[in-house]
Amino acid sequence: MDRSLELAAGYSAVFQSPLTAFVLTSLIIEMTPGPNMAYLAVLGASRGRIAGFSAVLGVALGLALLGVAVGLGGGSLVLNNRLAYESLRWAGALYLCWLAYDSWKESRQPIETASVSQSLFVQFRRGFITNLLNPKAALFFIVVVPEFLSGPAPSVRELAILVSIYVAVATFVHGMIVLLAGGLQTFFIAPQRRKMAGNVFSVVLLLIAVWLFVSGRR
């Protein structure tokens, strides 16, 4: 299991309130550098806050659905079936590689104001799919969340509360990252700088893909 997940799970014994402990655990997990943090920071800096916030909403929906899927039994399938886990890990890494190429290609094209709404949907979709294929997020729901449940057969309400808390904490952290990084967006409007941002963005996505693949090995 990833070291950050081990540290976060250990904090549950420090606090008397389970919900307080879970909020702080979720915050620790999200403040640890990872795929979402790097992806959203570069996206906000190169394409602006609106594009970044669109991706944040996609990430939130992806995390919510992933949490529900794990809670309904999908976690056992991923954790106990090596083929399922490896398929998820490979799919996530390959999707990030495709995003790297697509970002490099897009940075060479002129900015068209007419396609703004389409671009926002694209960023939303990318954030959504990336987190559905994120084995690190799946491991959080599989390994950490059960530590805060009342028993082996928790109620749907209890599971929904924990998933909602985690998604809310993650969305807050991701939103702050985009807000801060978005201040650099005006610097990348010039075509030459836009190409440079596209190159950097593509390299970062490739590095995230490698990191996700390597760190997710079991």
**pLDDT tens across 7-61, in order?**
555 554 444 567 888 888 888 888 876 777 877 887 887 778 888 999 999 999 9
Model confidence at 178, pLDDT cuts 50, 70, 90, reads very high
CB contact at 8 A, 143 and 9: yes
Mean pLDDT score across all residues of the chain: 76
What are the Cα distances from residue 102, in Å, to 90, 184, 201, 203? Answer: 18, 21, 10, 12
> What ranges do the domains of the chain cover?
3-215
Euclidean distance between CA atoms 52 and 42, whole angstroms: 9
**pLDDT tens across 120-175, in order?**
888 899 889 888 877 778 778 877 887 787 766 667 788 888 899 999 999 999 99
Euclidean distance between CA atoms 147 and 69, whole angstroms: 17
CB within 8 Å of 37: residues ≥ 6 apart: 30, 173, 174, 177
| pLDDT (0 to 100) of residue 56 | 95
pTM: 0.72
